Chain A
Amino acid sequence: MTSVDTDRTITLTVNGVPREATVPVRRLLSDALRHDLGLTGTHVGCEHGVCGACTVLVDGDPVRSCLLLAVQVDGHEVTTVEGLAHADHQGGQILHPVQEAFRECHALQCGFCTPGFLTTIAAGLDKRDNAAELTEEEVDDMVGGNLCRCTGYANIKKAVHHANATMRDRA
């Protein structure tokens, strides 16, 4: 018999770490990450899927965390912006090439939209053959679903090219 619930305990892997939370079933994934799991890197902008600030990776694919219920990712793997960098074994962190590129190219100003761009672009560049030519159309398609009101996108697009070149050279 299928249970019909108002609260659920879910287990999921967030940035490689198994996590558990008991949440009301109406809890959005974006709020579960921030409020229940303390991962405030995921930013909530419009909360109805338009702005892309809350984009996270679920099983490797970028999705809007405000358009998913936390109970729907029970048993799945989530990567947030906190999971892009990795430890350097000396107590510090090595940034993801996309994060490096954003710093290098001045691709953020206020920074509110940045977590959504970073996760979206990281997934987009991870999935492609970095040695293949990266067209402007491909870049537009990659970042077109994310709103940024500061930069005018020019430096963000520059950063996408920069990160792709880094990933190509390191491959």
Chain B
Amino acid sequence: MKPAPFRYADPDTLEEALAVLSDEGAGAKVLAGGQSLLPLLSMRLAAPSTLVDINRVPGLDSVEVTGDGVTVGALVRHNALLGDDAAARVQPLLARATANVAHPAIRNRGTTVGSIAHADPSGEMTSVLALTDGSVTVATPAGPQTVEWRDLFVGPLETSISGPAVVTSAFFPALPARSGTAFAEVARRKGDYAVCGAGVVVTLDADRRVERVRASYVSVGITPEVLDLTEAVAGKPVDSADWAAAGALARTMVDPDTDIHASADYRRLLVGVLTERTLRDAAAEATARVTCE
């Protein structure tokens, strides 16, 4: 199908974008990469009165990397983030998760910040924002605001951002010391929406004992959550930690839905399998980092 009629503006500045969003009212919607929005329009699941295309707004297409973390501008395409080695060194989850976002042709156009603002429970980057304890910066007529991930996600495809506003960047804090990460998905077809995905961070102490284990999932639950799985393996030497027990614990903590792609029970099974698998990889990476210290 074709999108329902709408009005279109492509302002040259952020101020103009906010002005148009104010003038056009509640029916106006921001267009960045459009790789989630355009399908919604074509399937008539959404019919905004106006699209405000921010692709001409300067200054939103950079990835800034510091020791504290990675700031991703609103017009950074998934493929640009995927290929950013400096960002991957500071927060390896970014490249690992982005590699799982759709197909290359979609990643050429789709934006990481747009994915987050879209708040799809099957989105990878919403989970990564949560797992890294990140936040977004939102431009509003009253000035820029920072919204922590916990306050951002309200429901499926729903965020707490309202009124004339443009999410201008997302901030992903750096990976803590003595930590490793991993990300894995099960999908019907490589690049399709995940039936289940898992991202994990394992942190060791200086004696290579497990200090902290956290996980976040894709396509499990209606908004991103971070599970603390530390209790299953706390204080255990990394080589003898029972990662299967951590996977089993994760299974008891999630409450996935049944849909046409998978039953809730199957998703719970995948949570266990993917948790165990990713924790082994993350633990190996954390061990290597401790050894390097």
Contacts and interface: CB of A to CB of B under 8 A. Distances in A.
B264 interface: no
B55 A55 contact: no
A157 to B, nearest CB: 14
Interface stretch (A3-11, A14-22, A85-93, A101-109): A3-11
Given A31-B2, A68-B38, A48 B43 contact: yes
Contact size range, B = 35 or more
A5 B9 contact: yes
B28 to A, nearest CB: 9
Contacts of A126: none
Interface of A: 1-6, 8, 24-26, 28, 31, 47-49, 52, 55, 61-64, 66-69, 71-72, 120, 124, 140-142, 144-145
5 contacts: A2-B12, A6-B5, A52-B105, A71-B10, A72-B53
A-B pairs with the 3 shortest C-beta distances? Answer: A145-B103, A25-B8, A48-B39
B241 to A, nearest CB: 30
A4 B8 contact: yes
B55 A48 contact: no
Given A4-B9, A26-B4, A142 B106 contact: no
Interface of B: 1-12, 16-17, 19-20, 23-24, 31, 34-35, 38-39, 41-43, 50-51, 53, 55, 102-106, 108-109, 189-191
A171 B238 CA distance: 51
Contact of B108 (A49, A62, A141, A142): A62
Contacts of A49: 35, 38-39, 106
Nearest to B43: A48
Contacts of B50: 4
Given A69-B34, A142-B104, A145-B104, 4 more contacts: A61-B108, A62-B104, A141-B104, A144-B190
A43 to B, nearest CB: 15
A68 B106 CA distance: 11
